[in-house]
Structure 1
């Protein structure tokens, strides 16, 4: 039995094919304008799942990069402060050695004592160094300064928190300490560890009194050793952060390349496909125009 094909059947089939061609072309134009293969998850569910996973990894890696950059800035600040403190303390040691010259007069001793007082103030300023409003030698303490001086007793106290360290996570399994222990580096009179500031006060007082300040050279050397120990630790942690920064940037590039391979279109191929689809659509329009030409008058003839 032969099926009967009516004019209405032909028209419906033609319009359906036109709509399909137009829908396909609209999808390709959407890909061209967005530059992405996947505009909605239904375009490719498996690829969409991979894209979501890679984007999550990329966000995590970006946060680790921020953490590493912030940690590197902290450690650079600490390193600079300790380097300056060591330089100032070496100057104080040289002045103390000069003060051991028994031929120095009162005015010369006073000049040396005054310069040592200046070194003490420099060290105190370095010990109270801040980064973005946070004291780098006070741990997680929210005190205004890492070291304070009691106006009555003249003792210098560390206001930091011994158990509270400032850490930055640089990957899924590693955290790095980015501050330094001010009580170890500079001493804490309140805890029984004579601070470098009190030590320099003692030396300047001895010089003004005409005594032998060289007796304090051993104490200066001890304080320098503790600063050097802290500086070495900061350097090691800074190296760890720098290595992590390099690895994270490399990992980011790899993840971005994988993401691009999944969701980005091949521009040249898409342009050719779109041109071919436009040609097919134009041909379909021409065929439809001929099919849809007959009118009621044509059937009444």
Structure 2
């Protein structure tokens, strides 16, 4: 007579298979509950690495969008100021036609307005001071009236630009130096110096000096042309930023889709696998139960 007993090796293998089945059950249960296909990096190392890379790229793009928004804030304010200056110059041109000493007080008021515009601040920084955005101890303002109301207006900023990265390979200047805006290509004291043109117009009006008024009128047009050029420049930079923001936002949408495809649970697949493994688990448990149950037939030859 011989005794038939379950094979130890076979039983061990069955138990290992059961453990794997139960692990898959837990894994798919987690996937279904969380919506995340990867319960650990080891589930799919390549996909996990790709997900991290995609996340890094999206964070970088989001940061560039924020920097672009900051740049847009400075450029928008600068354009608003330049638009106000253009309105002031156009009003001065209207006054120049009258050649009347009665216009002198209004011209002085416009001159004061233009000086205030030139010293505009955003977030505590002078936007028309070049890189000297905080001023200095000696000259806290970028534009100062040397001897109001008749003296020249001096510029104490510089000609530097404040650049901001808006992509990994692209920077944009967020400012236009004040001397470029208010003195023009000729610089202080030239035919494109807006403040000199305003002062000359006021002096010509006050003294009924038609020749000085005529010169000031010509120079006001030169200054206006310069302001219009600056306005176009600022508008172009804003358009560039808008296009870059749209591009980066679009990239992030595509990157997010790629990340979701790698990361999100395929619920239909997970549910099918879960159901299949439940069946396998039940069958395996039945096999183990039968294998461990002693029967009279085990003692039969």
Please report the TM-score for the alignment, with normalisation by the length of structure 2: 0.80
> Aligned residue for 1:207?
205
CA-atom RMSD, angstroms?
Answer: 3.3
Runs of 5+ consecutive residues of structure 2 not aligned to the other structure: none
> Aligned residue for 1:156?
153
- Secondary structure of 1:240's match? helix
> Aligned residue for 2:274?
274
User: How far apart are residue 275 of structure 1 and its match?
Assistant: 3.4
User: How far apart are residue 191 of structure 1 and its match?
Assistant: 4.8
CA 1:252–1:145 in structure 2 vs 1: closer, same or farther (change >3 Å)?
A: farther
Which moved further from structure 2: 176-185 or 270-279? 270-279
- Secondary structure of 1:79's match? helix
What is the rounded CA distance, in whole Å, between the counterparts of 1:35 and 1:4 in structure 2? 48
Partner residue of 1:129 out of 87, 104, 120: 120
- Secondary structure of 1:157's match? strand
User: How far apart are residue 3 of structure 1 and its match?
Assistant: 11
Say whether the 8 Å CA contact 1:10–1:291 is kept in structure 2. Answer: no
CA 1:281–1:223 in structure 2 vs 1: closer, same or farther (change >3 Å)?
A: same
> Aligned residue for 1:234?
234
List per-residue Cα deviations over 1:10-63 (Å, max 9, x = no partner): 775555444332221111222223322223322122222222222222222222
- Secondary structure of 1:214's match? helix
> Aligned residue for 2:81?
81
> Aligned residue for 1:248?
248
What is the rounded CA distance, in whole Å, between the counterparts of 2:32 and 2:206 in structure 1? 83
Say whether the 8 Å CA contact 1:81–1:126 is kept in structure 2. Answer: yes
User: How far apart are residue 240 of structure 1 and its match?
Assistant: 1.8
> Aligned residue for 2:167?
171
User: How far apart are residue 255 of structure 1 and its match?
Assistant: 1.5
What is the rounded CA distance, in whole Å, between the counterparts of 2:166 and 2:224 in structure 1? 31
What is the rounded CA distance, in whole Å, between the counterparts of 1:289 and 1:4 in structure 2? 16
CA 1:12–1:147 in structure 2 vs 1: closer, same or farther (change >3 Å)?
A: same
What is the rounded CA distance, in whole Å, between the counterparts of 2:127 and 2:257 in structure 1? 38
> Aligned residue for 1:259?
259
Runs of 5+ consecutive residues of structure 1 not aligned to the other structure: none
What is the rounded CA distance, in whole Å, between the counterparts of 2:115 and 2:162 in structure 1? 21
Alignment of 1:207-226 (within 5 A): 207-212=205-210, 213-226=213-226
Which moved further from structure 2: 4-13 or 35-44? 4-13
> Aligned residue for 1:185?
181
List per-residue Cα deviations over 1:104-163 (Å, max 9, x = no partner): 5xxxx33x112112212222222222333322222221225432223588332223221x
Say whether the 8 Å CA contact 1:35–1:265 is kept in structure 2. Answer: yes
What is the rounded CA distance, in whole Å, between the counterparts of 2:3 and 2:158 in structure 1? 92
CA 1:278–1:138 in structure 2 vs 1: closer, same or farther (change >3 Å)?
A: farther
What is the rounded CA distance, in whole Å, between the counterparts of 2:53 and 2:90 in structure 1? 55
